[in-house]
Structure 1
Amino acid sequence: MSIALQLTLALCLDALLGEPKWLWNRLPHPAVLMGQLVRWLDVTLNRTHVARTTGVVALVVMVTLAGAVGWALSLFGDVVAICAAAILLAHRSLVEHVGAVAAGLRLSDAAGRQAVRMIVSRDVSDAAPQDVARAGIESLAENFSDGVVAPAFWFLVAGLPGIAIYKMVNTADSMIGYRTPRYADFGWAAARCDDVLNWVPARLTALALTLMGGAWHAWAAIRADAALHRSPNAGWPEAALAHSLSFALAGPRSYDGAVQTFPWVNGAGKRALTSSDIDTGVALIWKTWGGIVAALFVLGGLQWLL
């Protein structure tokens, strides 16, 4: 079976099953194991005077182990490859978590804030409903790139070793890739590697969202707004979703009780976002997912015929 058809089936399996509790209540999820490895390397190697060097060593260890496990699993054939890839994709869990924010807001402001805390790092303890909705939509855009398109891209490029390495680096970045006194040096290699691995997928995500959202006329504005983001990659899917749906995203938000002023993305768009706007964003993500699956199916069919 071609790798494109493997990926097509893995995406469909993930969308169908997501992360079944009956399985992960009995077995440790690969992301949990990756997190445990990162934590052990942090405790073992994070020494202040040589932190950048040991951070590079830690990254090499992580990439080597993840690639080796991915390669070993790939030897067991198509079914194992499809199931393993599905486990490392996160489309179903993403739309469920963001959908929970919309459902929470329909119940109460507090329920909406509680739901969005599960997916964002910003301070939402006093967030207004429109700010909660905006946070949920931004997370939807960024995590569609990080959790779906990027792992799918690296599986298509390098099979199970590729997706395993990507998920390992992405997990490390989420845990140690911060510019804090503890991780500014030790997490530097993981953060830079994550930026490199997400560079192409982030832009592909923006292209896909723009195409499925019918926003080609705004491509120049999307490019300009993407450059305003503090991340070299996260701004692309966020800007594409904002312009496709005429929403204003980014802007001011609070971290650790202090309000930080970030520039608006598509500032002329709708700012008073609601739970219904979250539903609209989720619908576009599903539509884009469907377009990606269809394209991969065609690619796989062509590979089979040729």
Structure 2
Amino acid sequence: MTTALVVALLLDALLGEPRWLWTRLPHPAVLAGRAVGALDRQLNQGRNRRAKGVLALTFLLAAALALGAALAALPGQLAEIVVTAILLAQRSLSDHVRQVANTLRLSLPDGRASVAMIVGRDTAAMDEAAVARAAIESAAENLSDGVTAPAFWFLLGGLPALVAYKAVNTADSMIGHRTPRHAAFGWASARLDDLLNLVPARLTALLIWLAAGAPRHWRGFFADANRHRSPNAGWPEAAMARAIDTALAGPRSYGGTLTDDPFVHPVGGRSPGPAEIDSAARILWRSWAIGLGALALSTLI
């Protein structure tokens, strides 16, 4: 299984998400999103919405586990490797993050348009520093959600666990928000996503720390990670903040409402730009390489 994961990581890094393929076929994430959307429309109404959300998540998990098991039962390892590579996101994450840096160099509106493709916050009034922070935070958080966590669950439970994780993560991104519509219905999805990312988020922070050269003086890291609004995203974000010496998080706007979130690594630089985004992208690849090396080494022991 470890060998299959190593090959899948290399395949994802080489090919990413080929346009020629996903313009002709629906991406698995799109299919998962459609399933979550259908469940939301059908069940998220009337009374007992939390119980209905649990029912929706149970159905989604059962379908994901069954699909993963069916794919794993195919002869040989080719299907397993290809599906795993598709469900990893290292190359696409790096490409999207670098795109923000490149467009931000052209103009602020171009940078805003690029970062709007990878974050859910309001982008229309962002200055250059806010665009850069959003891209860097997305890089750190999605290294965990899109690479470390899928790899972790594949190692623990093969394709069924990997497909189930991606289904839960998709549900959390769509209905796991504390909005009037989804606070109750998405509760189960949000809590299960928190649980599934508990270990991967901390492993990602470790990888980023190693990628930064394992510096000794990261005073305040644990406090920053635990002050973050998310029980998991704070760990890779706090690690990335120190790796590139940039203050992250802080106040940001969602749906026209400004949050009062504290800064992560508040003594770091407050005016990041394209150069800091590029530094974060390099950390992404160093972290990936360290993880890949550890996996490859484990196959030889």
Q: Judge conservation of contact 1:215–1:243 (CA < 8 Å) in 2.
A: no
- How far does residue 245 in structure 1 lie from its aligned partner after superposition? 1.6
The one-character-per-residue Cα deviations of 1:61-89 (angstroms, maximum 9, x if unpaired) are 11111011111111122111000000001
2:58 is matched with which residue: 60, 68, 75?
A: 60
SS in 1 for 2:227: coil
| Alignment partner of 1:246 is 2:245 | yes
Q: Which runs of 5+ in 1 are unaligned?
A: none
1:158 aligned residue: 157
Return the alpha-carbon distance in structure 2 between the equivalents of residues 199 and 12 of structure 1: 25
- How far does residue 258 in structure 1 lie from its aligned partner after superposition? 3.3
| Alignment partner of 1:117 is 2:113 | no
- How far does residue 215 in structure 1 lie from its aligned partner after superposition? 4.1
1:96 aligned residue: 95
| Alignment partner of 1:189 is 2:188 | yes
Return the alpha-carbon distance in structure 2 between the equivalents of residues 26 and 110 of structure 1: 30
Q: One-letter code of the match for 2:189?
A: A
- Normalised TM-score (structure 2): 0.97
The one-character-per-residue Cα deviations of 1:122-178 (angstroms, maximum 9, x if unpaired) are 112111111111110011000110011101100011110111000000000011101
Q: One-letter code of the match for 2:255?
A: D
1:72 aligned residue: 70
Return the alpha-carbon distance in structure 1 between the equivalents of residues 237 and 59 of structure 2: 32
- How far does residue 41 in structure 1 lie from its aligned partner after superposition? 1.0
- How far does residue 216 in structure 1 lie from its aligned partner after superposition? 4.2
- Normalised TM-score (structure 1): 0.96
Identity %: 54
- How far does residue 209 in structure 1 lie from its aligned partner after superposition? 0.6
Q: Judge conservation of contact 1:215–1:244 (CA < 8 Å) in 2.
A: no
Return the alpha-carbon distance in structure 2 between the equivalents of residues 258 and 70 of structure 1: 39
- How far does residue 218 in structure 1 lie from its aligned partner after superposition? 3.9
Q: One-letter code of the match for 2:284?
A: I
Q: One-letter code of the match for 1:150?
A: A
Return the alpha-carbon distance in structure 2 between the equivalents of residues 224 and 79 of structure 1: 44
Q: Judge conservation of contact 1:155–1:163 (CA < 8 Å) in 2.
A: yes
2:258 aligned residue: 259
Return the alpha-carbon distance in structure 1 between the equivalents of residues 217 and 223 of structure 2: 10
RMSD (Å) for aligned C-alpha atoms: 1.1
2:2 aligned residue: 4
- How far does residue 219 in structure 1 lie from its aligned partner after superposition? 4.6
